[in-house]
Amino acid sequence: MISNHRDDELKPPVPTDASLVTDLDSPKEECGVIAVSSLDEAAARVAFFGLYALQHRGQEAAGIAVADGRSVRLHKGQGLVGQVFDDAALKPLVGSLAIGHTRYSTTGVNSDRNVQPYVVETMHGPLGISHNGNIVNADQLRSKLLKRGAGLQSSSDSEVLALMLAATEGATWEDRLAKIMPEWEGAFSLAILAGTKIIVTRDPWGFRPLSIGRMPTGGHAVASETGALQTIGCDAIREVEPGEVVVLQGEQTRSHQAIKPKERQARCTFEHIYFSRPDAVWDGILIHQARQRLGEELALEHPVEADVVIPVPDSSTPAAIAYANVSGIPYNEGFVKNRYIGRTFIEPTDELRRQGVALKFNTLPENLEGKRVIMVDDSIVRGTTSGPLVKLVRDAGAAEVHMRITCPPIAHPCFFGVDMGTHDELIGHKMGVPEIGEHIGADSLGFLSVERMMKALGRDDGYCNACFTGSYPVPVQLTLGNTKQRFDGVLA
């Protein structure tokens, strides 16, 4: 039995107009998943705090599904975790098994019907699913389901996965999952609520992170980032391996390699550059240290005479400090971030929209006036925010503004769960570095090279850098003009 105990449509939707939040010109968040197998009936509350720690991975919607061995209860809605859930919402979510999700839409628009987890009735009982990633062959899979008479309720690829799994034959959910996984091309880190157990798995390319840990009260939890597991007190934390299936049931876990990992692994480099919290560990690397090393390499590759190094808060702060240490140029704060802009249902007027970045940042003129400034940021995507940021620094009295970016130019879209825009929207696809520098009004502009970036991570391969290079690890459907073409190699 599935119980939806609250009408989510009564909740006002979060505005998705980018002008409200003031687009920071960084890749939009992916999603976060959590799964909890506890020894008491409070799994949903543990999942709630885990989702809070994953809030940075998606601010459009959140949800939790919980099972008590007899039925599945579900609560989800649009908004931040703290807007969707309160004590009244959590009280009916009683059970020892829970999965949760915080969402930024990549496939499927932001609407009530696309909010996760998905819970569907099957001949084997209720099935719930939370998904981080993006399936590149979702259109073909959706067509197959529709031809078989499946009733799809959303435009999300995650629902396609749920219905395919529900329709697959096999003695157990683990058997069905192992049978159907080879049909899924692309990124998927999944938490599945199935009867009296939770099943988690990760795609064989290893695109998106997923880790498991042991809870202090017994039982286990799985989350998109290790920091979320630490938040709920987990130890013995390890990554779920690409292609591995792990079953959580009470205090017990068991795992097996459902499908062989791909020879070409494809971890997302942007977890290090931007997405993950600094306390997360990804591929055995602490994110904070990775960002410091990116800054070190950036200082070596693109030095410039200046008086002060400032970050664009927050993900570029460790890199800016490292740049300053290597270059010998003093570090200081140049911006104050207005952290709660965009956490409201009140839309700005057109005049407020025109003020742009000032809605998100204020400057500290005392630290900038008359100085040659190096401004360190994590990325430039569409080029819509770097220019206003440079202008803010100049208006604060800076004599020169030199922009330094901790990754290469983003010239190609992502098809694996990150919203970076299309080729036509990416400034790195349309312009060379000198042109971008002129466009944003910087005195100089330097991007970290792919080679230096990978040196900072201490890796030669195993990562997806397709957004920089155009070399996709999985064939994708590129939209060229008004047509779609299957693309299998390196984009010229």
Residues 258 and 293 in one domain: no
The CA distance from 404 to 298, in Å, is: 7
Q: What is the pLDDT along the chain (492 residues), one digit of tens a residue?
A: 555 543 333 233 333 333 333 444 666 556 999 999 999 999 999 999 999 999 999 989 999 999 998 889 999 999 999 999 999 999 999 999 999 999 875 444 556 778 999 998 888 999 999 999 999 998 899 888 888 766 666 667 888 898 999 989 999 999 999 999 999 999 999 999 998 999 999 999 999 999 999 999 999 999 999 999 999 999 999 999 999 999 999 899 999 999 999 999 999 999 999 999 999 999 999 999 999 999 999 999 999 999 999 999 989 999 999 999 999 999 999 999 887 665 554 555 666 655 666 678 899 999 999 999 999 999 999 998 899 999 999 999 999 999 999 999 999 999 998 888 889 999 999 999 999 999 999 999 999 999 999 999 999 999 999 999 999 999 887 644 444 444 455 443
**Is there a domain that residue 293 lies in?**
yes
Query: In the structure encoding, which two tokens stand for residue 305, read together?
Result: 């005479």
Q: What is the distance between the alpha carbons of residues 198 and 196, in angstroms, rounded to a whole number?
A: 7
Strands (E), 378-440: 400-405
CB count, 10 Å around CB of 265? 18
Per-residue pLDDT of 271-326, as tens digits, reads 999 999 999 999 999 999 999 999 999 999 999 999 999 999 989 999 999 999 99
Same domain, 258 and 290: no
Rounded Cα gap, residues 230 and 236, in angstroms = 10
Residue 109's SS3 state is coil
The helix/strand count (H/E) of the chain reads as 17, 26
Within a domain: 356: yes
Q: Could you tell me which of 9, 60, 7, 8 has the C-alpha nearest to residue 32?
A: 60
Selection from 255, 254, 246, 217 nearest residue 233 by Cα: 217
Residues 259 and 373 occupy one common structural domain: no
Check whether residue 260 and residue 339 sit in a common domain: no
**What is the β-pairing status of strands 372-377 and 118-122?**
unpaired
Which residues are CB-contacts of 435 (< 8 A; sequence separation ≥ 6)? Answer: none
391, part of any domain = yes
Domain that holds residue 398: 281-487
Residue 187 CA to residue 38 CA, distance in Å, equals 28
The CATH number linked to 59 is 3.60.20.10
pLDDT given at position 348: 57
Cα gap 374→470, rounded to integer Å: 29
Cβ contact 389:343 at 8 Å: no
pTM for this prediction: 0.88
End of a domain among 265, 295, 325? Answer: 265
> 219 and 295 share a domain?
no
Average pLDDT, rounded, for the chain: 88
Last residue of a domain, one of 265, 298, 320: 265
The one-letter code for the residue type at 373 is V
Apex 335 CA angle, 333 and 338, nearest 5: 130
Statement to judge: residues 171 and 295 lie in one domain: no
Q: Which of 197, 232, 265 is the last residue of a domain?
A: 265
Residues 195 and 307 in one domain: no
Tell me whether residue 428 is exposed, middle or buried, using C-beta atoms within 10 angstroms of its C-beta: 0 to 12, 13 to 18, 19 or more.
buried
Contacts of 477 (CB under 8 A, 6+ apart): 136, 139, 415, 484, 485, 486, 487
Examine residue 272 and state whether it is found in any structural domain, yes or no: no
What is the model's pLDDT at position 147?
Answer: 81
Query: 459 lies in a domain?
Result: yes
Angle between helices 287-301 and 317-327 (to 10 degrees): 40
Amino acid at 466: A
Question: Do the strands 211-214 and 220-223 form a parallel or antiparallel pair, or are they unpaired?
Answer: antiparallel
Check residue 70 and give its pLDDT: 84
Task: Evaluate the CA torsion angle 437, 419, 356, 58 in order and state its sign.
Answer: negative
In this structure, the answer to whether residues 251 and 316 fall within a common structural domain is no
Residues in the chain: 492
> What pLDDT, on a 0 to 100 scale, did the predictor assign at position 478?
61
* Whole-number pLDDT of residue 11: 34
Residues near 358 by beta carbon (within 8 Å), at least 6 away in sequence: 388, 392
Whether residue 313 is found in the same domain as residue 251: no
Q: CA distances (Å), 175 to each of 124, 164, 181, in order?
A: 13, 13, 10
Closest CA to 449 of 468, 423, 421: 468
C-alpha R_g of the chain: 23
Both 459 and 321 in one domain: the answer is yes
| Number of domains composing the chain | 2
Q: Encode pLDDT of 9-52 as tens digits.
A: 323 333 333 333 344 466 655 699 999 999 999 999 999 999 99
Q: Does 276 fall in a domain?
A: no
Contact 208, 187 (CB under 8 A): yes
Residues 428 and 384 in one domain: yes
Whole-angstrom Cα distance, residue 30 to residue 11? 23
pLDDT confidence of residue 8 = 35
Q: Cα separation of 295 and 303, whole Å?
A: 11
Q: In what helix (H) or strand (E) does residue 49 lie, and over which residues does it extend?
A: helix 43-53
CATH of the domain at 475: 3.40.50.2020
Q: The dihedral of CA 369, 374, 377, 380: what is its sign? A: positive
d(CA 91, CA 44): 9
Residue 344 counted as domain residue: yes
Statement to judge: residues 329 and 180 lie in one domain: no
Q: DSSP label at 86?
A: -
**Residues forming the active site:** 31
Separation of alpha carbons 428 and 381, rounded Å: 7
In a domain? residue 402: yes
